[in-house]
Amino acid sequence: MPRRPDSLETLQLSLELLRRIPKGRTVTAPELHQQLADAGYERDMRTIQRLLETLSEVYDIERDDSTKPYRYRWKEFAKGLSLPSLSTQESMLLMLAEQHLGSLLPAKLMKSMEGFFTQARSQLGDKGTQREREWLDKVRVVSTSQPLLPPKIDPAVFDQVSNALYANQWLEVDYKNAAGKRTTARIMPLGLAQQGPRMYLVCRFDGYDNERSLALHRIHSARASGFTFQRPKGFDLKQYDDDGRFGYGEGRHVRLCFRIEKEAGFHLLESPLSADQQVVEQDDAYEITATVVDSAMLEWWLRGFGESVSDICREAVEE
């Protein structure tokens, strides 16, 4: 019988393996090795194989050695470790996370979580009540504008971009802008944002200290260099968004005032433009005043109301 692991490091690795061995299907040592590598556990294949041999003798793990590579799974009535005891609520949360966070998490992390998502689906299917299974069909995130199909993003590009962003690694990209100009550059990935159906990478080009947003679907190829960088202390993705950079603004605040017909502007009483918004009710309209970021998106928004909006004025706000 193989020697039982006694170091804290090996114990942690064993626990990670046990959590990723599925119930109801099988997994191979190479697949587990890749999952662990994606999660940041770099170990050689032989180490994984030795641990699996030990674990299959100590726990209720079935090893199919009829073919190579050997396949592993929890036995039918085994309690397993952690995941088989997920509550239906936890399983529902994992399923929603898989649906809505897949494009916002590092590709390696999503791959390393595959066993967890499989167990969550199984938990809902085997033990969830009909009402719990139906819940995922009863909730949805809806668009606030005309729905558009998302542009196609090369999966290999997304993998390289998200992994480089996660590890603070320089990224080599081949990018084509909206005007058709193609550029090869070395960039510092700083943030990933989803705006409607599109995804943008906030970055700094090598040798520059200002941020730019690159549409992910316009990146033809990307390669994480493996060389890390020191993340700029002054950069904050939330502040970048608050400054209207995704709305084609430069962070300049203005005091906006306009008149809007009541039918078109009633929603602004429920969802104000800013915390300091003021409303003056008139016979057939509202006079709205609010401090906002001046941007192209603000201009598009105002134009969208057509003749329902009038008397627009902007006054610069001193920072």
pLDDT in tens, 187-199: 999 999 888 888 8
Distance CA 27, CA 44 (A): 17
Task: Check for a shared fold between 8-83 and 243-316.
Answer: no
Q: Quick one: pLDDT at residue 22?
A: 80
Res 79: pLDDT: 61
Pairwise CA distance, residues 35 & 113, whole Å:
8
CATH architecture, domain 155-239? Roll (2.30)
pLDDT for 31-54, tens place per residue? 899 888 877 788 889 999 999 998
What residues contact 179, with CB distance under 8 A and at least 6 apart? Answer: none
CATH 1.10.10.10 fits 8-83, yes or no: yes
8 A C-beta contact, residue 194 and residue 150: no
Q: What value does the mean pLDDT take over residues 255-274?
A: 94
Domain range annotation of the chain: 8-83, 86-135, 155-239, 243-316
Residue 106 phi, psi dihedral angles, 5° rounding: -55, 140
According to the model, what pLDDT value does residue 170 have? 96
Amino acid identity of 167? Answer: A
One CATH from 3.30.2410, 3.40.50, 3.30.420, 3.30.70 for 243-316? 3.30.70
* Residue 84 pLDDT > 70: no
Percent of the chain with pLDDT over 70: 90
User: Residue written as tokens 């193609």?
Assistant: 182
- Between 227 and 114, name the one with better pLDDT: 227
When mean pLDDT is compared over 21-30, 116-125, 288-297, the highest value belongs to 288-297
What is the per-residue pLDDT across 228-241, written as a single tens digit (0 to 9) for each? 999 999 899 998 88
Query: What would the DSSP string read from start to end of the chain?
Result: -PPPP-SHHHHHHHHHHHHHS-BSS-EEHHHHHHHHHHTT----HHHHHHHHHHHHHHSSEEEE-SSSS-EEEE-TT---SSGGG--HHHHHHHHHHHHHHTTTS-HHHHHHTHHHHHHHHHHHHHT--HHHHHHTTT-----SS---PPPP--HHHHHHHHHHHHHTEEEEEEEE-TTS-EEEEEEEEEEEEEETTEEEEEEEETT--S-EEEEGGGEEEEEEEEEE-PPPTT--HHHHHHTTGGGTEEEEEEEEEEEEEHHHHTHHHHS-SSTT-EEEE-SSEEEEEEEEEEEHHHHHHHHTTGGGEEEEEEEE---
Q: State the Cα–Cα distance between residues 317 and 319, nearest whole angstrom.
A: 6
Q: Could you report the per-residue pLDDT of 11-21, keeping only the tens digit for each? A: 778 888 888 88
Q: Which among 124, 31, 115 has a CA at the least distance from the CA of 81?
A: 115
pLDDT in tens, 111-164: 767 777 777 777 776 555 677 777 777 777 777 777 778 888 898 998 899 889
pLDDT tens figures, 48-68: 999 999 888 888 888 888 888
Residue 280 has pLDDT above 90, yes or no: yes
Q: Which residue has the higher pLDDT, 1 or 205?
A: 205
Q: What is the b/e burial string over 214-236, where b = at least 16 CB atoms within 10 angstroms of the residue's CB?
A: bbbbbbeebbbeeeebeeeeeee
* Least confident piece of the model among 110-119, 173-182, 245-254: 110-119
Name the residue with higher pLDDT: 228 or 9. Answer: 228
Q: Determine what percent of the chain is predicted with pLDDT higher than 90.
A: 40
pLDDT in tens, 197-221: 888 999 999 999 999 999 999 999 9
- 116 closest CA partner among 56, 193, 58, 38: 38
